[in-house]
Structures are given as C-alpha cells and as structure tokens.
Structure 1
Amino acid sequence: MVDNRYATALVIGSVLSLLATVYLSVAVGTQHWYQYNCPKRDSSNASELREVFINGDYDESTYRNTMFQLNGTLGLWWRCILVPSQSLWFRDRDPKMETQCVSFTLPQQFSPKYNRDSDKDLLRTYLWRCQFLLPLVSLALVFLSGLVGVCACLCRSFTPTLGVGILHLLAGLCSLGTVCCFLAGVDLLHQYSPPPEGVEGSLGWSLYLALISFPLQMMAAALFLWAARSHRKNYTRMTAYRVA
C-alpha cells in the first residue's frame, strides 16, 4: 500500500520530468542558442554569402563571418542566416526576410577546432563535442528512467524508484553540463576571434529552454529520491512493528 504523499510525489515528479524532456528536446532541435545582430548590415552581396554559406565547404571562420553580416543564429545542430527571400518574377526594394539553415553533420560535430594560429584547440574541440553529446545522454537517461518506472508499476514495487531518482539526477547534471559547455565554447571562440565592431551577440531562447530543464529534472529527482527513501523507512518501521 502506497501512502498518498508518496503517490503525489511520484505524480508531480513525473510531470516535472515530462516538462523537462519536452523543453530539452525542443532546445536540441532548434537553432536559437546564440544569435548575432548587425544593425548596419550590407545586403548587396547577400546572395553570394548565402550561396557560400549553404553550398560551400565547411569552415568555421567562413560561416561565422557570414553569420556576423547576415544576423545569424547558432544551435547545437544548426547554423542559420537571415537573407532576403528569392523572387522569380521581380525584386522588391524592401524584400521579405527568410531564415536559411544548414545542419552540422556528424563528422563536422567531431571535427577539431582551431585557434587564430591555425593550431588545434583541444579545449574548444572537446567542449563542442560535449555540448551535443550531453543532451543526448540526458534524454537517454530520462527514457531509461521511464522504462524503469514502468517496470516498477508492473511489478508493483517501490524499490526501483530510487534508481529513477538517481537517473534523473544524472540527467539534470548532463543538461547543466550542456549549457556550461556551450557558453564556455562561445566565450573561448570570442576571445580568439571577436565579432566585428557593431555586431552584437546575445543568448537565444533555445539555450534558456535547456537551462530551465535542469532545475525541473533536479526537482523530479529530489521527489523520486524522497519518496523512495521515506517509503522504505516507513515500510521498515511497519515490518518491525508487526514482528514485535
């Protein structure tokens, strides 16, 4: 028999876990982790920059310069720019702007990073790899904890709840590590290659979604661990009382 307090903690923890999973999944799949804004943009060569950005060879310095000039945004799996929409029949004097995105391939995610002296930057390379691996690990841990929770319900056992709480704790740490690695990598990149004068950089809403998922996962972990520990103590006392 499960006390109503423990059942309530499990329900609230599950809701928090679901919200954290949704937030982190949206953050991973979107490109608004970091964005650049150039108020004095020159759109005369926007078509050429767009062509190089989309169809050119992968080069960090090249696509970053394009992002500087065309109000680009950067994500874990995407890099995007804002360009005038292409019209087949006429050219507007004030064209409508549209977003063009290119995804990072898996080999590009593992490719080494270089500093201003064209030397391999091991710290930034591993930060970049961690920033896209850690959220995947976090989502995998939450999925595994869900399987453990389903098995616990089928077996009518409260013991696996402790494992569910530990898995959520590890998932929360991975979510926090993702944000920290991304911010540290961007800061190191700006130290080596600062944006041109007039270009402003700011954090995007995707990063804040990933950041919000961390406390949600930690609160879910705390509820699961509290419920498992309190129920175990209560069960031990009841067993000792019945034996006595």
Structure 2
Amino acid sequence: MVDNRYATALVIGSVLSLLATVYLSVAVGTQNWYQYRMVPATNSNANSNGNTSELVKEFIHGDLDEKAYSDTMFLLNGTLGLWWRCIMVPSETHWYKEPDPKMASQCVSFTLPQQFASKYKEPGNEKSGEDLLRTYMWRCQFLLPLVSLALVFLSSLVGVCACLCRSVTPTLGVGVLHLLAGLCSLGTVCCFLAGVDLLHRSASPPEAVDGALGWSLYLALISSPLQMMAAALFLWAARSHRKSYTRMTAYRVA
C-alpha cells in the first residue's frame, strides 16, 4: 500500500513532468529562440532595395555559410532556432507596390550535416581556423534536448513498470532520470545563449539591428525547473516510502 502523501507526490510529479515535456517539445520544434529586428526606417530602406529578392532566393534555395545567412537574417528581421532559421518576406506579391505589405515568416531547416559542421573563428571563413568552443556548443544545443526527451521517455517506462509491480522503489530511478533531464534542458539554453553571444562577437549585427530572446527559449528555460521539481518529488516519495517501509518491518519483527 502507498500512503496518500506519496501518491499525491507521484501525481504532482507526473503532471510537472508532462508539462515540462510538452514545453521542451514545443521549444525544440519552433524557431523563436532568438530574433532580430531592424528599426522601421532602416527596414523600409532595405526592403526597397532590389537585392532583397535575391537575398531571399539565396537564403531559401542556396547553400549559404554561417556568415551569409546571418547577414540575411540581420537585414530581414530573422529568427533563429535549434533546427530552423527564418526571415520575414512579403506574404503576397502584387503588380503594384503596397505601402505597408503583410509579412510572413519563411523558414529553412538546418540539415544534419549542418548541425555537425565546424564553426570558424571568422564565420564563413575556413582559413581563420575552427572555433572549437562554438562548434561543440552548437552540437550540444542540438543533442542535449534530444537526450532530455529520451531520459523522460525512459523514466516513463520505468514508472509504468513500477505501477505494474505495485512498488515505489523504481521511483528513485525515475527521479534521477528527471534530474538528469532537467540538467540537459538547462544545458541546452546555456549552450544556445553562449553560442549566440560568441557569434555576435565574431560577426556583430549592424547598429540598426536589435536582438532579443524569443518565446521558444523561455519555454525551454521553464521546462528545466519543472523537470527538477518533478525529480525532487519522485526522490522524496521513494526515500520516504522506503523509510516508512523499513520502520514498519522493524515494528513487525519486534
């Protein structure tokens, strides 16, 4: 039998784990981790330039290096995600020029070779040498959320086995897995922020471009403490139940 306190802790921990998984999954699948915005006057001048359409075509269909697609994102109010890079383009094309056209997001996904490609001290310049710190941070920000989701999935399997066996003992393993998943989620956010900061030091955006954190990053940031709180509840339930069981056994023996 499981005490009501332990059952409540398990239920609350499961709800927190589910919320964290949903938040992290949405964050990984969306592109609003970091966004660039130009001041309106500069943006209108850039859009009036005939090179804008060429930039869009190269961004979508070309095999651009890091420097090239970063410059395009600076000029066209781009957003950056773990698996996506996006720019803002006019949603509809007319034979006349609209004074204030509606803009839509056009995204291109990073391929698997691009995720594991080397980063250079001068973005886009292979002769400048590989920047190992940025290279491994980029790879970690891609792999760590997958590891976090895998750990949560594994912990759910352990939890199902615990329910089938009617035992709280495997809950200790569930708590440890959730703790590791929370650390991986936090590591994802830290690697992304550090990587963006290092990129801006090597290739700083124009003065007219403002950078800001996006809502996708905040979802990933929220998922980390939720996973850790779930881990704390699971660990508390497992340890408290074990103590109660030990005391009960000792009482019966006595």
Work out whether residues 144 and 188 of structure 2, in 8 Å CA contact, stay in contact via their aligned partners in 1: yes
Instruction: Please show how residues 1-244 of structure 1 align to structure 2 within 5 Å.
Output: 1-39=1-39, 40-41=42-43, 42-43=46-47, 44=49, 45-87=51-93, 90-116=96-122, 118-244=128-254
Q: Distance in 2 between matches of 1:157 and 1:2?
A: 9
Q: Report the CA distance between 1:118 and its aligned residue.
A: 2.4
Work out whether residues 46 and 83 of structure 1, in 8 Å CA contact, stay in contact via their aligned partners in 2: no
Q: Report the CA distance between 1:86 and its aligned residue.
A: 3.6
Residues 132-184 of structure 1: CA deviation (Å, up to 9, x unaligned): 10000000000000000001101111110000000000000000000000011
Structure 2: gaps of 5 or more residues: none
Structure 1: gaps of 5 or more residues: none
Residues 87-130 of structure 1: CA deviation (Å, up to 9, x unaligned): 26654332211110000011100000011262110110000000
Q: Distance in 2 between matches of 1:209 and 1:99?
A: 20
Q: Which runs of 4+ in 1 moved over 3 A?
A: 88-91
2:120 match: secondary structure:
coil
Alignment-mate amino acid for residue 63 of structure 1:
Y
Residues 9-37 of structure 1: CA deviation (Å, up to 9, x unaligned): 00000000000000000000000000001
Q: Distance in 2 between matches of 1:63 and 1:222?
A: 42
Q: Report the CA distance between 1:218 and its aligned residue.
A: 0.4
Normalising by structure 2, report the TM-score.
Answer: 0.94
Work out whether residues 58 and 64 of structure 2, in 8 Å CA contact, stay in contact via their aligned partners in 1: no
Residues 36-85 of structure 1: CA deviation (Å, up to 9, x unaligned): 01111110232111101001113100000000000000000000000112
2:168 match: secondary structure:
coil
Q: Distance in 1 between matches of 2:248 and 2:199?
A: 59
Normalising by structure 1, report the TM-score.
Answer: 0.97
Alignment-mate amino acid for residue 242 of structure 2:
R
